[in-house]
Structure 1
Amino acid sequence: MEYMIRELRTESGMTQKAFAELYGIPLSTLRKWEQGEASPAPYVLQLLARAFPGTDKTLRQIKGHNGTVYYYDKSRRTVADARGNRIQVQEELDDVKAQNLGIYLQDLFESFYEIQEKFNRDCRYDKEEDILWSRRED
């Protein structure tokens, strides 16, 4: 069971610290779980596994050109990365050429990460500075 936690974290691409912070797990507890010194309750494993699309065998796996794997949930019309970031898509993906779909998803998630980083940077900046922004009406 302790290896399941390590597998989930490794698949997510996160460090122990990032994983622990994201899920509110004390870092020392996560380390104990991964080293086999303690085991999480079964429900904790189930909850964490649900956060990672790679554990859901009903999802279609799509490989990107750089080895990244993405997951398509046709019923919810979402795509996800290994970290569990989900993006709603409007288009049906079943008839899109597989070699192109990997490229499209890679571009989509790269854009997502860029805008996510900009958002986080803006929020950090906002906490440090006494500034009020306003939108310019065109």
Structure 2
Amino acid sequence: MLEKRAAEEQELADRDVVNPPVTSPTTGTVWTAGDKVTVTWNTDFVNSKPEYSNLKGTILLGHLNPGSQSENLQAEHPLAEGFLLTAGKTSFTLPANTTPRDGNAIVVLLGDSGNKSKKFTIKAAEGNKHPHPHPHPHPHPEETNTEASA
């Protein structure tokens, strides 16, 4: 009987969705490309269960466009990853070539699901008038060394 109950409790725990609410950035936050920034989130849920103590997260940058439901997430270029969700925050340098956003930038915190921030602003880095459209650009094929090592 106890084994069955334990199995049922584990099954319920397996169905839990871990998506801590983002608490910062918020509306009115302004990040500048090239600066060190911090994302914070509520840890009440992840700290309530010991089985969540080793869950790791990922932060993605996105933006919202009027009239669209798309979050335009840059999933191929995470801003941060591999941090413990129980920490409640992670800091990283916002790439200097991040596209400026006037009040429509968001970050999404991924656990086993996602939770997005409020919309905020990103300013261009000082002296960077033409930022690359992606925060972590891949080299163009002509810039990549394709010669085999001897």
TM-score, structure 1 normalization: 0.27
Between Structure 1 and Structure 2, which shows a larger proportion of helix residues?
1
Structure number with greater CO (CA < 8 Å, separation at least 6) is 2
Task: Say which one has the larger Rg.
Answer: 2
Q: Kindly indicate which of the two structures has a greater share of residues assigned to strand.
A: 2
